[in-house]
Structure 1
Amino acid sequence: MKKIVMVVIVSLLFAVGCQQKEEPKQQFQPPIGQMPPGGIGGPGQGVDTAKLLQETVRKDPKNLKAWTDLGNLMMDTHRYQEAIDAYAKALELNPKDADIRVDMGTCYRNTGKPDIAVKEYKKALEINPGHVNAHKNMAVVLMQDFKDYPQAIKEFEKALEIAPNASDADAVRAEIKRLKALSKQ
């Protein structure tokens, strides 16, 4: 039971840490990329958002927002490699965007490349040392994929130092306590 509770807490931390806070994301329902009535194109138009964004970046390859939105859409619909490709184009246009680097890192982790995920989180932290989600996401990868509990603890503690009253702060504190106990075993 204890293990199940911890898996739920860790999953919750990772999910909360992966969310971008700047803009609310459109919720998409199957089929993938299909806007609900009233979305792009007005009621009943059913414009395929992915196709619209792909057409936008084809016509205007320097459109940072379209590349970022395309990456976000692909990530939200679990098309992680396509998200990585879109984020890479966005980063060519704006290599100093820490949020894109964090999302790209999350996509790399979800494609089974946690080592590259950590590199992206570190790049995000070079750009913005106070990026809470970069610290939390890196902690989760270090903890779950590399079993590097001491470094994961440091990353979680840094996240708490930056945002001690975050909505998941109590869960982060509990995870730190659990990891410290595991480290002593």
Structure 2
Amino acid sequence: MAESEGGVKQQTLYISIAVALLVGFLMGIIYSDRSPQPGGQMGQQGGAPPQQMGAAQQQQQLLQAINSLELAVKQNPNNAETWTQLGNAYFDTDQPEKAIEAYTKSLAIIPGNPAVLTDLGVMYRRAGQPDKAVATFDQALQVSPGFEQAMFNKGIVLYNDLGKNEEARKAWQELLLVNPGARGPDGTPISEMIKMLDTFQGQK
């Protein structure tokens, strides 16, 4: 009996850890599908590798990029790519309202880019507008039904921000139909996330 009780306690511990990991994961991790920007966290077009740069230097390069891009869109306001790059720079510097404006202008010039729509949805979420975020992810999926980042992010916002657990589960199940091996940003398989979500729901 002692071994049995120990096994039950150990299993409960593992479940508790899994639930804690799930809660932490769903609190804010979300995908972005944008292109890397000069000096940004996702890569550079030259110079020292990101890991060799200090945070202050990266921030300075981003601010310089923003100044250049703001000037560029004033000189040529009909260039969708430049608006997208400006939105990406605002994204990296945590300026969601400005990023929303830049991405919206890019999409007004060239509508229907699923990657830009996905990043716009991320910025709506960061700006505290989860309903708009989900609607924007849906727009991306209308254009590109199998766009995995939008499907994943939709589930995150539905669960974490809107409390729509079943809709979140459905979004991730649809993602698995597109890619059975899909994983979250930290490498966690989506199938495991669904299992942990079910476990967490059962604990309530």
Q: TM-score, normalised by structure 2?
A: 0.74
Matches within 5 A, 1:73-152: 73-152=89-168
Aligned to 1:180: 198
Residue of 77, 84, 91 corresponding to 1:68? 84
User: Any runs of at least 4 consecutive aligned residues in structure 1 with deviations exceeding 4 A, and if so which?
Assistant: 182-185
Q: Find out whether 1:6 has 2:22 as its counterpart.
A: yes
Code of the residue aligned with 1:113 in structure 2: it is Q
Q: Aligned equivalents of 1:62 and 1:183: distance in 2?
A: 48
Identity among equivalent pairs (%): 27
Q: TM-score, normalised by structure 1?
A: 0.81
Specify whether residues 167 and 173 from structure 1 end up closer, same or farther in structure 2 by C-alpha distance, changes over 3 A only.
closer
Code of the residue aligned with 1:173 in structure 2: it is S
Code of the residue aligned with 2:60 in structure 1: it is Q
Cα contact 1:10–1:175 (8 A) shared by 2: no
Specify whether residues 31 and 112 from structure 1 end up closer, same or farther in structure 2 by C-alpha distance, changes over 3 A only.
farther
Residue of 32, 48, 54 corresponding to 1:18? 32
Cα contact 2:33–2:118 (8 A) shared by 1: no
Q: Aligned equivalents of 1:141 and 1:94: distance in 2?
A: 26
Specify whether residues 33 and 95 from structure 1 end up closer, same or farther in structure 2 by C-alpha distance, changes over 3 A only.
farther
Q: Aligned equivalents of 1:32 and 1:61: distance in 2?
A: 27
Larger radius of gyration: 2
Residue of 50, 57, 61 corresponding to 1:35? 61
User: Number of residues paired by the alignment?
Assistant: 171
Cα shift at 1:35: 1.9
Cα shift at 1:26: 3.5
Unaligned runs of 5+ in 1: 37-46
Cα contact 1:33–1:49 (8 A) shared by 2: no
Specify whether residues 32 and 167 from structure 1 end up closer, same or farther in structure 2 by C-alpha distance, changes over 3 A only.
same
Q: Aligned equivalents of 2:56 and 2:90: distance in 1?
A: 13
Unaligned runs of 5+ in 2: 1-15, 41-54
Code of the residue aligned with 1:18 in structure 2: it is S
- RMSD of aligned alpha carbons: 2.4
